[in-house]
Structure 1
Amino acid sequence: MVPLSSPHVSRRRAVFGGLLLPPVLAGCGTNAIAQRGATFDFADVAERVLPAVVNIAVSGEQTVQPPAEFRGTPFERYFRNRRERVQGAGSGFVIDPAGYVVTNNHVVGNAQRVTISIQGGQELQARVVGSDELADLALLRVESRTPLTAVSWGSSAAMRVGQWVMAAGNPFGLGGSVTSGILSARGRDIGAGPFDDFLQTDAAINPGNSGGPLFNLAGEVIGINTAIYSPSGANAGIGFATPSDLARPVIETLRRDGKVERGWLGVQVQDLVAEDPRSGRRAVLIAGVERTGPAGRGGLRVGDVVFAVNGERTETSRSLVRSVAAIPPGQTIRLTVLRDGRTQDLTLQVGRRPPGPG
């Protein structure tokens, strides 16, 4: 994984992104197991799932960016005409014996060559079936003469804070490694993007673990290790994983269509400090509207307060963005808004979200 901004430093000192990544965790299940506490033996789970966990090596070239002090000078062209080789490593896991592999988008990036190493040392060349920058997910495909060992998805929503988890991956290039811990928190927003909803764990996650699976005690994938919070770039006991309930539909869409198209309204939103006068609950303020965007054409205005999307309550800007993003472009959406002291419903046609991380 990469630090939550850069490979070693971020605004929140978290490790995020490309090739320095956190390991995956495994969750626990029954009360009987929980009562056994730290004495639980992960050996059976590890033996069963490790053959499906892969190491990912990437290589390619990128244009060298000129240092700030040379921009606007005759030396800038010299730097822009140069290219440098880039290499990196991460983790992933097989979800289909036919050769489909899940990892983080930042692990593969714009790599020109992606190599998958499976347990036993076999190396296979992979192609990127599709990737999604906003969810930081990618789906790869390899061709193997024999079926690969695969793992199944579990429900991240079924996990409770305090349950055991196990992470597997390729920390510091040491393939086939597992670590254990607990689910520390849910719904973490780490400033990575509009779809932040991370699981937090204290299982050791280090550079090279990005894209690896986080397992529950049944050996099901309940998360994909994506980032760590770290002052040094190494494990500090706080790792973040993309929940399986968020990742699974994205991966299924990538497998079917090769890309993910999300709904978009063309608005800037913010959480409303004041509470909904009707119910005492929070709402979302429309702080900006693009005149030529779907919202502008549909009559949404700056200052409107949104309480519901298609009849379902929405209390945060993040939940509103997600609700809109889940609606296919071209379909309609009904927003319940408060305007000039009166409640009304507005029906808008959802547009296609433009490319980019925002």
Structure 2
Amino acid sequence: MQRFLDLFIAGPILFVALSLGAGGPAAAAMMGAPVSLAPLVRAVAPVVVGITVTQAPGTPAKSGPAGGVAEAAGSGFIISRDGMIVTNDHVIAGAARIMVTLNDGEQFPAKLAGADDLTDIAIIKITSPHPLPTAAWGNSANAQVGDWVLAAGNPFALGNSFTLGIISAEGRDIGDGPFDHFLQLDAPINPGNSGGPAFNMAGAVIGINSAIVSPSGGSVGIGFAIPSNSARPIVMALIAHGEIARGWLGISVADPSNGAGQGAQITGVEPGGPAARAGLTAAEIVISVNGQPVAGATALTRAIASMAPGTKVRLGVSDNQHIFDLPVTIDRRPVQLGE
């Protein structure tokens, strides 16, 4: 798995033109493919932006071959006329300077308005002298495997680009975080596409392009997008509050080593954290939260992180096959820490 945030190197780029094969528009129409996406692209292009990031001091410097200058790049899309833009958290994490390039070439500095690393969603804000076009949210629950999808973004920092594919699968968990539930797309997407929108054929955003699986680092037709129905409430909360207050137990966990497959085994306990105060210790296994079975370490992280700090929970705990209930009051999750 690879995030799309990547580095682009100043220098020559070789472009290879590929034939679309025999058949032409008539054959495409017979197969159910759109004859032309030009009207759709014209309609949605103004909401797609390119993002370039200068890393904060202290970030390890990176350069290309022969000392070429490298710069981080990503994508986003406008969701309010006053300049709110959705992107990925990993695109802007650690940024000292964020620049946004609109589809017409206008450039604006941007400020971070909110971010949530667990869902990899961030909001940045630009100030434009004129109202901006906005993307429309689609209902990802209506998306089906086999539906056409138009992926947009800023691959390799070349500028806004569009590719066509289908939804290949739903509900994919790629081990990238506790809230993995991606749409899998086969539309070609590459480094620099992170944070860009995935549109349905009505021009509504049904996903945020976020990750690829590739042995080479480039598109092999396996990309992943955060579904719009998962992203939209996070976006609204970030606009309202700048962050998501998430619950935290103060433990590190792994899937049980006994092969049972259920529960989350505690591998470490944060001194002074909620778990330590409640008496949880390493090697114990959390098997339920408020009576609901825990199906592994990721499931426990997801359950706790979804709760508000200060929530009182009842954990089912197994210690050498002795099962007991333990009340715990969860705390606020520190940035970049575990459960």
TM-score (norm 1): 0.75
Candidates 199, 217, 227, aligned match of 1:243: 227
Candidates 110, 122, 128, aligned match of 1:144: 128
Candidates 63, 66, 85, aligned match of 1:101: 85
Aligned-partner Cα distance in 2 for 1:17–1:274: 37
Aligned-partner Cα distance in 2 for 1:343–1:200: 39
Q: Does 1:253 align with 2:253?
A: no
Aligned-partner Cα distance in 1 for 2:59–2:264: 42
Deviations 1:130-167 (CA, angstroms, capped at 9, x unpaired): 22333322211111222211112233344333322110
Deviates more, 1:198-207 or 1:304-313: 304-313
Deviates more, 1:180-189 or 1:162-171: 180-189
Q: What does residue range 257-336 of structure 1 map to in structure 2 within 5 Å?
A: 257-272=241-256, 282-290=262-270, 292-336=272-316
User: For structure 1, which runs of at least 5 residues remain unmatched after alignment?
Assistant: 5-13, 21-33, 68-83
**Tell me, what secondary structure is at the counterpart of 2:206?**
strand
Candidates 42, 50, 67, aligned match of 2:45: 50
Alignment check: 8 A CA contact 1:49 1:219 kept: yes
Task: Kindly tell me the number of residue pairs found equivalent between the two proteins.
Answer: 313
State the match for 2:98 in structure 1.
114
Aligned-partner Cα distance in 2 for 1:35–1:313: 49
State the match for 2:204 in structure 1.
220
Deviations 1:274-295 (CA, angstroms, capped at 9, x unpaired): 688xxxx843334443453212
The one-letter code of the counterpart of 2:233 is P
CA gap of 1:65–1:306, structure 2 versus 1, over 3 A, is: closer
Aligned-partner Cα distance in 2 for 1:19–1:214: 22
Deviations 1:78-118 (CA, angstroms, capped at 9, x unpaired): xxxxxx98633221101111210011222223333322222
The one-letter code of the counterpart of 1:142 is I
The one-letter code of the counterpart of 1:17 is L
**Tell me, what secondary structure is at the counterpart of 2:46?**
helix
**Tell me, what secondary structure is at the counterpart of 1:210?**
coil
**Tell me, what secondary structure is at the counterpart of 1:46?**
helix
**1:50, CA displacement in angstroms?**
1.6
State the match for 1:24 in structure 2.
none
Aligned-partner Cα distance in 2 for 1:97–1:342: 58
State the match for 2:16 in structure 1.
none
Tell which has more relative contact order, 1 or 2 (C-alpha 8 A, sep 6+): 1
CA gap of 1:65–1:126, structure 2 versus 1, over 3 A, is: closer
State the match for 2:330 in structure 1.
350
Candidates 105, 112, 137, aligned match of 1:153: 137
**Tell me, what secondary structure is at the counterpart of 1:37?**
coil
Candidates 99, 103, 107, aligned match of 1:123: 107
Deviates more, 1:338-347 or 1:321-330: 338-347
Aligned-partner Cα distance in 2 for 1:348–1:35: 60
Deviates more, 1:246-255 or 1:35-44: 35-44
**1:237, CA displacement in angstroms?**
0.9
**1:187, CA displacement in angstroms?**
3.6
CA gap of 1:65–1:152, structure 2 versus 1, over 3 A, is: closer
**1:339, CA displacement in angstroms?**
5.2
Q: How many percent of aligned residue pairs carry the same amino acid?
A: 46
State the match for 1:75 in structure 2.
none
Aligned-partner Cα distance in 1 for 2:51–2:214: 23
Aligned-partner Cα distance in 2 for 1:142–1:15: 24
The one-letter code of the counterpart of 2:164 is S
- Which segments of structure 1 move beyond 6 Å, counting only runs of 4 or more? 273-276
Aligned-partner Cα distance in 2 for 1:19–1:109: 14
Aligned-partner Cα distance in 2 for 1:321–1:312: 14
Aligned-partner Cα distance in 2 for 1:154–1:211: 16
**1:65, CA displacement in angstroms?**
5.0
**Tell me, what secondary structure is at the counterpart of 1:62?**
coil
**1:357, CA displacement in angstroms?**
5.8
TM-score (norm 2): 0.79
CA gap of 1:63–1:273, structure 2 versus 1, over 3 A, is: closer
Candidates 164, 167, 172, aligned match of 2:148: 164
